[in-house]
A and B are shown apart, each in its own frame.
Chain A
Amino acid sequence: MLKYFKSNESILFFLLIILCIFLSFYNPQFYSIQNINSILRSSSTVMIVAFGMTILLTSGEVDLSVGALMSFVTVIVMDVINISGSLFLGFLAVFIFCLMIGLINGLVRTMLNVNSLIATLAMMLILQGSVYIYSMAAIYNTHLLPFFTFIGQGFVFKIPMPVIIMLFILPFFIFLLNYTKYGRYFTAIGSNPSSSSLSGINNNKFKILGFVITSLLVGVAGIILASLMDTGQQGSAKGFELIVIAAVLLGGTSFKGGSGTVIGTILGILILKVIDNGIILMRIPQEFQLVVPGVILILAVYFDTLRKEKNV
């Protein structure tokens, strides 16, 4: 595993260890299985979406609509399973919907040439509004299928299911970004789009792919969230996109594109989540749950810029 570490990642890793040591001295409860499981479980949905966001940011794009889409997914999956009684149909509906949204995001970005910050902000608004057109009220679990509840709330060998799902997806992205040509293409497109196009790479194709992958991952995360809440709720993942983007940036991916790693993203998420947890354990007012990560993000990006300036 160590060989994927770049200098930025070792700093994050070090920071994470220090945080954990500090918290376990402060409150031994930190090391309880329940606590660690809760950190990991709440991290896993963020991680799943962040894998896609890492690809997007690496290729110089961003998707602000992931939170709104995730909320929408909880509503769709709950509703379709309630009506049909079939998990398969519920999941199918989710993935078709996500595929469509990802495609639209990608096409608006590439064919209409709208900046992705604006294109996906618009998509966010559209989804936030249209979810209420779909259903005004929250949708409760009336199908009571046990496997559905298991997805978000179950355990296998004492490990929460969402973590297991995340671990199933993770190797695929490590593989994609480190071992295949696609990883190179995403970096090239984000670092210097003209150069990659002049090397015969179809930038638009890969950008669309990035948006589609991200949306599909949101589908997975949305199903987990619906299972955890046992409800399909219109605003359930509001603000989720900001946590994802903050974590990916903290993990060393550049907002300008060109550099990013999955391991860095994972470390970024764990640091944010451990800080979250620490704020609760230390009985600091909960409002700081947003303040501290905000400050850390600014510092992290600042140090990253400093490091890069030194290198160049």
Chain B
Amino acid sequence: MSNKFESLSLQNIRKEFPGVLALDNVSLKAEAGKVHALMGENGAGKSTLIKILSGAYTKDAGNILFNGKEINITSPNDSLNYGIKVVYQEISLIPEFTVGENIFLEKFPLNRLGAIDWKKLYDDCEKLLQGIGFNLDVREKVANLSISEQQIIEIARAIFQNASVVVMDEPTSSLTPKEIDKLFQVIERLKNNDISIIYITHKIDEIFKIASDVTVLRDGKFISHRNINDTSEEILIQDMVGRKVDQKFERPLNTFSEVQMNVKNLSTLSKLDNISFKLHRGEILGFFGLMGAGRTELAKAIFGYDKILNGKIEIQGNVYEKFNTQTMVNNGIGYVTEDRKGEGIINDMNLRENMSLPSLGLFEKFLIINKVKEKKLANQYIEKFEVKTPSSERLITLLSGGNQQKILLSRWLLRELKIIILDEPTRGVDIGAKTEILKLINDLAKDGLSVILMTSEMNDLLSLSDRIIVMAGGKISKEFSKDIATQEEIFKAAAI
């Protein structure tokens, strides 16, 4: 790469995964010395686009132009050769190595004998960090640095050779306001060095501080490209969430009176800060939050999986301050995880065994599990939810995502249940199964089950929930009743 970097443009990029159109005709132009913000909800297609840029995925259609000339990116190596560097959210430094070692990890400078030239390494490292306006002891172990310092080292590592475009994925999500300022100063330096930055974030206010252009994606589609001076917070939110809410479900209009669960001042060590809410019988309570808002953490804390630091939960007169998952399951609560593969299905078990796991007591007589009875009930639910499988004895890993999800729902529905916590119940599920699952949730609530619905799908949230609680940064930021909730208001409450 000898000629000077001017611009990188993505034109009409398309990427399809089995059953999902992840990117449909998306375009974006990153110019030297400018920050181009990329925005959109969870699942809008931002990460797919970045993965195409970094060579992790290959595009199905469209062009990538580098300084106006078409290029081909088919592997991460291609992307690096053009100076496209991605700084991911998670820090990938080696904690026990020094700053200098981490930055030059892939390419240690060697002396004539072939050994590492430590003096050159640390001198170069100092020059590099000064170049981006950052003073730090290059011989310090990374483990002793703050998160923001580590992040800046990640950036330094990305740009130490011929960077043209630096992609930053939610770089401020774990930083304090002071640290964010520091990061922005570094970004200013990068701009002065004619590097282009593609900046992915949920935080609207940041964009107005550093970006010159904003591109918004929604559901894999290109929605808008605006100059920062021609836009406003309202316009951006409109762009991000402005889809029509279809599929209205008929929810009973009555007000809910009987309190099923009362969560009081719940806090955890990791994230949650003083969460309180009530859940009524037969109510669908929607929870919305952007990445890192603490929804899953809340679900797991209520369910007894994560230890709580403070607070208590009242379920039908019983007050719990110390509890585990067993307590909650015995109280008629069920939880369907967002991480189906990691925390949901049990690979070594068939459908029947996966379904009956929390409820083996139902089939037990004199310690023996009545497998005939178990199989019968399993088949009943397989039929009811139209799970596509030849038999209940099939290994669960052989099923599609949607069918696995139905099995995990059955795991709870086959027992007596008062409350079900659903964490992203329709993620990775095809459209057909999705509608079925939503309809099922509605029917269950009508029968008196209380549902906590945690979802990033604005559509599902608005069409099913009786009440919506919006979370941000581990706190409840706002609560909406069904009739006053709008996509714009919800998003605004989430993006603080």
Residues of A within 8 A of B (CB): 179-181, 184, 187-188, 190-192, 194-202, 258-259, 311-312
The reply to whether B325 and A195 form a contact with Cβ atoms under 8 Å apart is no
Interface hits, B322-338 → A, CB 8 Å? 324-326, 328-330, 335, 337
Q: For A179, list chain B residues within 8 Å (CB).
A: 367-369
**How far apart are B176's CB and chain A's nearest CB, in angstroms?**
30
Among A194, A202, A259, point to the contact of B348 (Cβ < 8 A). A259
**Chain A residue nearest in CB terms to B342:** A194
A202 touches B326 (CB 8 A): yes
Q: In the bound complex, what is the Cα–Cα distance between A89 and B476 (angstroms)? A: 62
Name, among A180, A195, A259, the residue most crowded by chain B CB atoms within 10 Å (CB to CB).
Answer: A195
Q: Which residues of B contact A194 (CB under 8 A)?
A: 305, 342-343
**Closest CB-CB distance, A261 to chain B, in whole Å?**
12
Q: Which residues of B contact A (CB under 8 A)?
A: 303, 305, 324-326, 328-330, 335, 337, 342-349, 353, 356-358, 360-361, 364, 367-369, 395, 397, 411
Q: Name the B residues within 8 Å of A196 (CB-CB).
A: 346, 357
Q: Which of B325, B346, B360, B367 contacts A191 (CB 8 A)?
A: B346
Separation in Å of the A14 CB from the closest CB of chain B?
A: 24
**Which of B330, B345, B349, B353: most chain A Cβ within 10 A?**
B349
Complex contacts, A198 vs chain B, CB 8 Å:
303, 305, 325, 335, 337, 343-344
Name the distance in Å between B210's Cβ and chain A's nearest Cβ. Answer: 39
- Asked whether A200 lies within 8 Å of B330 as measured between CB atoms, the reply is yes
A173 to chain B, nearest CB (A): 14
B368 touches A200 (CB 8 A): no
Q: Which residue of B lies closest to A180 (CB)?
A: B367
Q: Given A199-B357, A200-B330, A202-B326, 17 other A-B contacts at CB below 8 A?
A: A179-B367, A180-B364, A180-B367, A184-B349, A184-B353, A184-B369, A191-B347, A192-B347, A194-B305, A194-B343, A195-B344, A196-B346, A198-B343, A198-B344, A200-B326, A201-B325, A258-B347
CA distance A41 to B411 in the complex (A): 45
25 of the cross-chain contacts (CB-CB < 8 Å) are: A180-B367, A181-B361, A181-B369, A187-B348, A188-B346, A188-B349, A190-B348, A191-B347, A192-B343, A194-B305, A195-B343, A198-B325, A198-B335, A199-B329, A199-B357, A199-B358, A200-B328, A200-B329, A200-B330, A201-B357, A201-B358, A202-B324, A202-B326, A258-B346, A312-B347
Residues in A neighbouring B329, C-beta threshold 8 A:
199-200
Contact indicator B325/A180 (Cβ below 8 Å)? no
Q: Is the CB of A187 within 8 A of B328?
A: no
Chain A residues with CB under 8 A of B353: 184, 187
Contact A200 B358 (CB under 8 A): yes
Asked if residues A180 and B368 are in contact (CB atoms below 8 Å), the reply is: yes
B331: nearest chain-A partner, CB-CB:
A200
**In whole angstroms, how far apart are the Cα atoms of A199 and B328 in the complex?**
10
Q: What CA separation (Å) do A196 and B330 show in the bound complex? A: 15
* Least Cβ–Cβ distance between B399 and chain A, in angstroms: 12
- Interchain CB contact (< 8 A) of B346 among A180, A192, A200, A311: A192
Tell me, in angstroms, the Cα distance from A247 to B328 when the chains sit together.
40
For the complex formed, measure the closest distance between the CB of B409 and the CB atoms of chain A, giving whole angstroms: 13
Is there an interface contact between A258 and B411, defined as CB atoms closer than 8 Å? no
Residues of A within 8 Å of B337, CB to CB, are 195, 198
- With A and B bound together, what is the CA distance between A196 and B326 in angstroms? 10
Q: Which residue of chain A lies nearest to B327 when distances are taken between CB atoms in the complex? A: A200
Taken together as a complex, chains A and B put the C-alpha atoms of A198 and B364 apart, in Å, by 21
Q: Is the CB of A187 within 8 A of B349?
A: yes
> In the complex, what distance in Å separates the CA atom of A184 from the CA atom of B369?
10
What A residues does B305 contact at CB under 8 A?
Answer: 194, 197-198
A202 to B358, CA, bound (A): 11
A200 touches B343 (CB 8 A): no
9 closest cross-chain pairs (CB), A and B = A200-B329, A181-B360, A258-B348, A194-B343, A191-B348, A199-B358, A199-B357, A191-B346, A192-B346
Tell whether, in the assembled complex, residue A184 and residue B357 are in contact, meaning their CB atoms are under 8 Å apart.
Answer: yes
- Known A197-B305, A197-B325, A311-B395: A188·B357 in contact at CB below 8 Å: yes
Write the chain B residue with the least CB distance to A182.
Answer: B367
Given the known inter-chain contacts A192-B345, A198-B305, A258-B347, please indicate yes or no for A181 contacting B364, CB distance below 8 A.
Answer: yes
In angstroms, how far is the closest chain A Cβ from the Cβ of B381? 16
A170 CB to nearest chain B CB (Å): 17
A258→B342 CA distance, assembly (Å): 14
- In the bound assembly, the distance between CA atoms of A22 and B353 in angstroms comes to 41
Q: Give chain B residues whose Cβ lies under 8 Å from the Cβ of A200.
A: 325-326, 328-330, 358
For the complex, give the distance between the alpha carbons of A180 and B369 in Å: 6
Judging by beta carbons under 8 Å apart, are A195 and B346 in contact? yes
A282–B285 CA distance with the chains assembled, in angstroms: 74
Q: How far, in angstroms, from A201 to B358 measured CA to CA in the complex?
A: 7
Interfacial chain B residues near A202, Cβ < 8 Å: 324-326
A195:B345 contact, CB within 8 angstroms: yes
Q: Which residues of A contact B330 (CB under 8 A)?
A: 200
Q: How far does the alpha carbon of A195 sit from the alpha carbon of B407 in the complex, in Å? A: 13
CA distance A191 to B345 in the complex (A): 9
CB neighbours (8 Å) of A180 from chain B are 364, 367-369
| Interchain nearest-CB distance for A177 vs B (Å) | 12
Q: Measured between C-beta atoms, what is the minimum distance from B110 to chain A in Å? A: 38
- What A residues does B328 contact at CB under 8 A? 200
Whole-angstrom CA separation of A134 from B369 in the bound complex: 45
Provide the bound-state CA to CA distance between A197 and B325, in Å: 7
CB B486 to nearest CB in A, in angstroms, measures 34
B263 to chain A, nearest CB (A): 18
Which residues of the other chain, A, contact B345 by a CB distance below 8 angstroms?
Answer: 192, 195
Shortest distance between the CB of A286 and any CB in chain B (Å) = 39
In the assembled complex, which residues on chain A have CB atoms less than 8 Å from the CB atom of B367? 179-180
A14 to B395, CA, bound (A): 26
CB distance from A198 to the nearest CB of B (A): 6
Q: Residue on B with the closest CB to A205? A: B326
Bound: A179/B330 CA distance, A: 23
Q: Which residues of A contact B342 (CB under 8 A)?
A: 192, 194
Closest residue of B by beta carbon distance from A178: B369
C-alpha gap A87/B349 in the complex (Å): 44
In the assembled complex, which residues on chain A have CB atoms less than 8 Å from the CB atom of B369?
Answer: 179-181, 184
Q: How far is the CA of A200 from the CA of B329 in the complex (A)?
A: 5
When C-beta atoms are compared, the residue in chain B nearest to A257 turns out to be: B348
B325 touches A199 (CB 8 A): yes
Interface core residue of A190, A192, A198, A202 (most chain B CB under 10 Å): A198
State the Cβ distance, B119 to closest chain A Cβ, in Å. Answer: 40
Docked pose: A256 CA to B338 CA in angstroms: 24
In Å, the complex CA distance between A184 and B368 comes to 12
B360 engages A184 (CB within 8 Å): yes
- Tell me the minimal C-beta distance from B414 to chain A in angstroms: 12
User: What's the least CB distance linking B99 to chain A, in Å?
Assistant: 31
Q: What residue of chain B has the Cβ atom nearest to residue A190's Cβ?
A: B348
List A contacts of B347 (CB < 8 A): 191-192, 258, 312
Assess whether B346 is in contact with A201, with CB atoms less than 8 Å apart: no
- Tell me the complex Cα distance, A190–B358, Å: 16
Residues of B close to A197: CB separation below 8 A? 305, 325
Chain B hits for A199, CB < 8 A: 325, 329, 357-358, 411
Inter-chain contacts of A191 with B (CB < 8 A) = 346-349
